[in-house]
Amino acid sequence: MGSRAQVPVEWASQEAVWMTWPTQERWWPGRRKEALEAFSTLAGAISQRECLRINCPKKYVGEVEAILSKAKCDLENVEFFPNETDDVWCRDSGGVFRINAGKLEVVDFRYNAWGGKFSPWNKDDALARHMAACADARDVRIDAIVCEGGALEMGEDGTLMTTESVLLNPNRNPGIPRGRIEEILLGAYGADRILWLKEGLFNDDTDGHIDNIARFAPNNTIVAAICGKANPSCGSLTANLQALRDARNKDGKPFNVVELPLPENVIISDGGDALPASYANWLVINGAVLMPTFGQPKSDEAAAEILKTLFKGRDIVGIDSRTFLFEGGAVHCLTQQQPELRKS
């Protein structure tokens, strides 16, 4: 795929994984204890296998280290950076790492909190630049469009997947032609083509991020979230599945489309709507796949078995994501991988 600047696939060798620690009391109100436990579990699973880099203001570092130590996190594999944020969703507000001629760069899209839904977002919009400086990477600011990392999924053949409901949404990119958006995305990720799906999950604050509905896996594979007719996401996921089956890779051949059923509806608040729970919101790290679980043993195990066949040689590690989901996301939404540079 040449020497151009390019975002590697997620299962490429990684130097580190980034996340943002939930320091503000307004995050997970009434569920702080459960949230800190969930973040500690996620941090521990990462730190046991590779370097974990945490965005966390200095005044909280001692407190966070104590929490992680109790959770048996490998603190020797944890680094803290004093980057202040407005929220915790590092996948979306943080930088997307790419490699250009053997050097690290950060794709830094303009960010507006998923279409201006949650104010303020000025610190989050600056996060990618700060992460670039911490990683000794060049910041590549792209002011032309608003986009989030969870809206884009890079495949090994140079195909980039995304959704119309996010990138073409007037709450992000009003008046910008589709062709211009494609041009910007292809250049930013070093991709050759874009595979557009229409919509994402019901009740998803992101307006339909791709990392909840369709993900690339090795060997020309796309994993597609599916659900039954009783699920309010059924219509959009059925249409997406057909689009993926009709799609072709760079060689003109169909992708190997693997179906990944959603869990049963996850409803946390009495009388509330189903939350956007999906096993597709996994994170690949060195030696493992961290897969969200939802307290549903049968479907959790079935999803793990599917991922085990796709990511051979990696442990499938379940991370209970019900508490994460209370604020709208899961494992992939909270993290961002930093690829390892090849040593010459």
**333 noted as active-site residue:** yes
Alpha helices in the chain (DSSP H): 32-47, 61-70, 90-93, 113-116, 122-134, 164-167, 178-189, 234-246, 297-310, 322-326
How far is Cα 99 from Cα 97, in angstroms, rounded to an integer? Answer: 7
Task: With CA atoms as reference, report the closest residue to 151 among 243, 217, 86, 213.
Answer: 213
DSSP single-letter state for residue 202: T
In sequence order, the β-bridge partners of residue 193 are 159
pTM: 0.96
- DSSP per-residue codes, 149-176: GGG-EE-TTSEEEEEHHHHT-TTTSTT-
State residue 103's pLDDT score.
97
Q: Which of 51, 147, 227, 333 is catalytic?
A: 333
Around Cβ 252, how many Cβ atoms within 10 Å? 6
Per-residue pLDDT of the chain in tens (344 residues, 90 and over written 9): 447 899 999 999 999 999 999 999 889 988 999 999 999 999 999 999 999 999 999 999 999 999 999 998 999 999 999 999 999 999 999 999 999 999 999 999 999 999 999 999 999 999 999 999 999 999 999 999 999 999 999 999 999 999 999 999 999 999 999 999 999 999 999 999 999 999 999 999 999 999 999 999 999 999 999 999 989 999 999 999 999 999 999 999 999 999 999 998 777 665 567 788 999 999 999 999 999 999 999 999 999 999 999 999 999 999 999 999 989 899 999 999 999 998 64
Best CA proximity match to 106, nearest among 85, 78, 134: 134
**Whether the Cβ atoms of residue 47 and residue 77 lie closer than 8 Å to each other:** yes
State the pLDDT at residue 1: 43
Closest CA to 249 of 223, 219, 214, 224: 219
The residue type at 275: L
pLDDT at 275: 83
pLDDT score, position 271:
56
CA 138, CA 337: separation in Å to the nearest integer? Answer: 16
Between CA 339 and CA 217 the distance in angstroms is: 17
Buried residues in 308-332 as b, exposed as e (16+ CB within 10 A): eebbeebebbbbbbbbbbbbbbbbb
d(CA 292, CA 333): 11
Q: Please tell me the predicted confidence (pLDDT) of residue 273.
A: 73
